[in-house]
Chain A
Amino acid sequence: MKDKIRAIVVEHGRFAGNVSSLADDADLYAAGMTSHASVGVMLALEAAFDIEFPDRMLKRSVFESISAIAMAVAELLKEAGR
Chain B
Amino acid sequence: MGSQTDASAARLERITELAERVTAPAAADVDRNARFPSESFAALREARVLSAGVPADFGGHGASLTELAAGCSILGQHCSASAMVLAMHHIQVLCIARHGASSPFFRTYLTAIAREQRLIASVTSEVGIGGDMRTSLSAVETTGSRFTLNKAASTISYGAQADDLLITARRDPSAPGNDQVLVLVRRGEFTLERAGVWDTLGMRGTCSPGFKLQSAGGVEQILPAFGDLASATMVPVSHALWTSIWLGVATDAVGRARTLVRAQARKTPGSVPPTALRLAEVTTKLQLLRQAIKGFIADYEALIVQPDGGLDTLSSIGFALRVNQLKVSASELAVEIVSHALSICGIAGYRNDGPQSIGRHLRDIYSSILMIGNDRLHATNAALLLVHKGD
A binding-site residues for B, Cβ under 8 Å: 15-17, 29-36, 39, 42-43, 46, 52-56, 58-61
Contacts and interface: CB of A to CB of B under 8 A. Distances in A.
SS of A interface (majority): loop
A16 B178 CA distance: 10
Given A42-B387, A52-B389, A59-B313, 14 more contacts: A17-B176, A29-B178, A32-B176, A32-B179, A36-B380, A39-B386, A39-B387, A46-B387, A55-B318, A55-B389, A58-B316, A59-B316, A60-B315, A61-B312
Contact of A34 (B178, B312, B313, B318): B178
Contacts of B384: 35, 39
Contacts of A53: 387
A73 to B, nearest CB: 14
Contact of A54 (B135, B171, B315, B391): B391
A31 to B, nearest CB: 7
Interface in B164-221: 171, 175-179
B176 A43 contact: no
Interface of B: 134-135, 171, 175-179, 227-228, 231, 312-313, 315-318, 320, 380, 383-384, 386-391
B318 A60 contact: no
Please list the 7 inter-chain residue pairs (A to B) with the smallest Cβ-Cβ separation, ordered nearest first. A32-B176, A59-B316, A58-B317, A60-B315, A16-B176, A42-B387, A39-B383
B180 to A, nearest CB: 10
A55 B312 CA distance: 12
B135 A43 contact: no
Given A34-B178, A43-B387, A58 B318 contact: yes
A12 B38 CA distance: 50
